[in-house]
Amino acid sequence: MTDKAPLPKLRVATTSLAGCFGCHMSFLDIDEHLFELVQIVEFDRSPLTDIKHCGPCDIGLIEGGVCNAENVHVLREFRANCKTLIAVGACAINGGLPAQRNHLDLGDCLQQVYVGRDGIEGGRVPDDPELPLLLDKVHPIHEIVRVDYFIPGCPPSGPVIWKFLTDLIGGRTPRLSHPLLRFD
Helix (H, G, I), strand (E, B) or coil at 12: strand
The answer to whether 81 and 13 have CB atoms below 8 angstroms apart is: yes
Q: What residues between 22 and 41 interact with other proteins by CB under 8 A?
A: 22-26, 28-29, 31-32, 34-35, 38
| CA atoms of 69 and 152, how far apart (whole Å) | 25
Stretch that binds other proteins, among 54-62, 68-76, 161-169, 171-179 (CB under 8 A): 68-76
For other proteins, which is the closer residue by CB, 107 or 170? 107
For other proteins, which is the closer residue by CB, 137 or 149? 137
Residues that bind other proteins (rule: CB under 8 A) add up to a total of: 77
Q: Which residue, among 178, 161, 183, has the nearest Cα to 23 in the 3D structure?
A: 161
- Contacts of residue 129, defined as CB under 8 A and 6 or more positions apart, other chains included, come to none
Q: What residues between 115 and 154 interact with other proteins by CB under 8 A?
A: 117-137, 139, 142-146, 154
57 lines the binding site for other proteins (CB under 8 A): no
Site string for other proteins, 99-118 (x = CB under 8 A): -xx--x-xxxxx-xxx--xx
Q: Which residue, among 86, 77, 75, 96, has the nearest Cα to 19 in the 3D structure?
A: 96
For other proteins, which is the closer residue by CB, 146 or 178? 146
Residue from the set 13, 18, 54, 160 that interacts with other proteins by CB under 8 A: 18
Question: Residue 57 CA to chain centroid, in angstroms?
Answer: 15
